[in-house]
Amino acid sequence: MSKVAGGKHVRRSERQWRALLARFEQSAMTVSAFCQREGICTASFYRWRRLLGEADIGDRLIRPADHSPGFVDLGALSSTGADRLELTLDLGGGLVLHLVRG
- With contact defined as beta carbons under 8 Å apart, do 10 and 1 qualify? yes
Burial label for 57, CB within 10 Å (0-12, 13-18, 19+), is exposed
CA 27 to the chain's CA centroid: 22
CA distances from 67 to 22, 49, 60 (A): 29, 26, 13
Would the pLDDT of 34 be above 80? yes
Euclidean distance between CA atoms 83 and 60, whole angstroms: 48
User: pTM of this prediction?
Assistant: 0.49
Instruction: Report percent pLDDT > 90 for the chain.
Output: 36
pLDDT band at 22 (very low <50, low <70, confident <90, very high): very high
By C-alpha distance, which of 44, 32, 34 is closest to 1?
44
Predicted confidence band at 102 (pLDDT cuts at 50, 70, 90)? confident
Query: In which band, very low, low, confident or very high, does the pLDDT at 68 lie, cut at 50, 70 and 90?
Result: low
